[in-house]
């Protein structure tokens, strides 16, 4: 068992070279990316995929902004890709959610090298 939100958990070493899912917790992505996983699938609210033109997105936009989620997740991942910190394999909208205000982005990322500091790019 690993507490992915705990950056000092002793079992992180088992993630090296493996596929990892991080879900609705950017701290999980930050912590996991330091361990050198083979691939990370990260699910997180992404304001960039939402639109005021779509009534179904209104609850998501209000929720993302009220919870102070960062509003440029895709942009930050793209910048990290451009800086060769990660390989951004895909970004797409998740078409299901537990609640109407929980729409999210699924990002497939690879080759998050050991020692890469993603904290500087994702805030």
Give domain status of residue 95, yes or no.
Answer: yes
Band (26; pLDDT cuts 50, 70, 90) = confident
Give domain status of residue 58, yes or no.
Answer: yes
Give domain status of residue 117, yes or no.
Answer: no
Give domain status of residue 6, yes or no.
Answer: no
Give domain status of residue 59, yes or no.
Answer: yes
Helix (H, G, I), strand (E, B) or coil at 15: helix
Q: CB of 50 within 8 A of CB of 68?
A: no
What is the pTM for the complete model shown? Answer: 0.71
What is the number of domains present in the chain? 1
Give domain status of residue 97, yes or no.
Answer: yes
Give domain status of residue 5, yes or no.
Answer: no
Which structural domain range is residue 101 located in?
A: 15-110
Q: Which two tokens stand for residue 105?
A: 């982005």
Give domain status of residue 21, yes or no.
Answer: yes
Q: Which two tokens stand for residue 103?
A: 């729409």
Q: CB of 10 within 8 A of CB of 35?
A: no
Determine the Cα–Cα distance for residues 123 and 73; give it in Å rounded to an integer. Answer: 9
**DSSP conformational letter for 81:** H
Q: Helices then strands (H, E): number in the chain?
A: 3, 4
Mean of per-residue pLDDT scores for the chain = 78
Look at residue 76 and tell me whether its pLDDT is greater than 80: yes
Q: Which two tokens stand for residue 21?
A: 């899912």
Q: Which of 100, 115, 31, 44 is nearest to 76 (CA)?
A: 44
User: What is the pLDDT at residue 97?
Assistant: 67
């Amino acid at each position: 068992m690993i507490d992915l939100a705990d950056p000092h958990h002793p079992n992180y070493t088992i993630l090296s070279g493996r596929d990892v899912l991080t879900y609705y917790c950017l701290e999980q992505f930050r912590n996991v990316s330091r361990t050198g996983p083979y691939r990370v699938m990260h699910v997180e609210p992404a304001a960039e995929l939402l639109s005021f033109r779509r009534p179904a997105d209104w609850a998501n936009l209000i929720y993302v902004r009220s919870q102070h989620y960062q509003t440029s997740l895709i942009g930050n991942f793209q910048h990290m890709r451009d800086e060769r910190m990660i390989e951004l394999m895909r970004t797409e909208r998740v078409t299901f959610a537990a609640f109407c205000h929980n729409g999210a982005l699924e990002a497939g990322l690879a080759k998050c090298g050991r020692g890469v500091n993603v904290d500087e790019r994702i805030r």
